[in-house]
Structure 1
């Protein structure tokens, strides 16, 4: 199984909307934007925003492709070039969950963040009850920092989040030595 990342583009709107719409019930549990994604035009608006934000250096989103098929999205949000940090967001369609896809995607995302983008710190803040997302952060080597009280608003209710971080130096020591 080959997992790779590709920057999002406006022409991805139809495929992205179809993936979200097909798996709407599963994705909506932890992703508040799913409820506002009603049409392909909504996906296009997200992609247009993402492309513009990439040009500004404030957000970087990638499609997660598995053997050439769209499987999900991961990205860096709230990018602060001045402080060399960003927040990590990600989601996968249910058929790809539990197959190591997100670990491969995050490895590539960290390579971009700590490599060409020159970031020093990445943060993942999943809802405390989102045990799958917490497991993803832990497997990717992100260290637990604490609980962020009422940090997320999901389905009309505040939710606590677990805060995990990874530093460039921590990521670098875990990379294979190049010959």
Structure 2
């Protein structure tokens, strides 16, 4: 009988020690990431990644409005995920995520999102987490739907990318819905 290897997905706290690996990951998938992530063009060096990680780590220490993690698959950096726009008053936030091209399609993001939702609805005590994805961003929308997020509607010209407006879909998950799925 052959053993089936388990893929291990871990969420790592942001730390500047990962700056070189993070920049290399962004750089190798720049063309794909650029389509939906406006910050990609401004990420031109390892120093840009270092500044991002330092800011994310500082925000985590000070209870900022964003909780960020690096996604690791079997010890290899694969992408990033965050819950941003956190409102303590409304106990809500928005989920953002990306993977390098070579990790897409293997279930990595589904597991990373599940872990982030466990933290968001657990430790962060949020009641609602939303995803905003471009209407044409089929992969991101499919992930939200697979995980049971409810499509709430469309934001007309809700995204401004590369000088053009794009319609976006908004999805949400409530804490009770997530607990029922787990």
Alignment of 1:1-179 (within 5 A): 1-54=7-60, 55-175=62-182
Question: Taking structure 1 as the reference length, what is the TM-score of the superposition?
Answer: 0.95
Secondary structure of residue in 1 paired with 2:133: coil
User: CA separation in 2, counterparts of 1:114 and 1:135?
Assistant: 22
Counterpart contact for 2:155–2:167, Cα < 8 Å? yes
Secondary structure of residue in 1 paired with 2:80: strand
CA-CA distance at 1:26 after TM superposition: 1.4
User: CA separation in 2, counterparts of 1:53 and 1:146?
Assistant: 31
User: CA separation in 1, counterparts of 2:56 and 2:14?
Assistant: 7
Secondary structure of residue in 1 paired with 2:134: coil
Structure 1, unpaired ranges of 5+: none
Secondary structure of residue in 2 paired with 1:71: strand
CA-CA distance at 1:12 after TM superposition: 1.2
Question: Taking structure 2 as the reference length, what is the TM-score of the superposition?
Answer: 0.94
Secondary structure of residue in 2 paired with 1:98: coil
Structure 2, unpaired ranges of 5+: 1-6
- Alpha-carbon RMSD across the aligned residues, in angstroms, is 0.8
User: CA separation in 2, counterparts of 1:136 and 1:99?
Assistant: 12
CA-CA distance at 1:56 after TM superposition: 2.7
Of 83-92 and 19-28, more deviation after overlay is shown by 19-28
User: CA separation in 2, counterparts of 1:124 and 1:42?
Assistant: 25
Of 126-135 and 54-63, more deviation after overlay is shown by 54-63
User: CA separation in 1, counterparts of 2:85 and 2:69?
Assistant: 15
User: CA separation in 2, counterparts of 1:76 and 1:162?
Assistant: 17
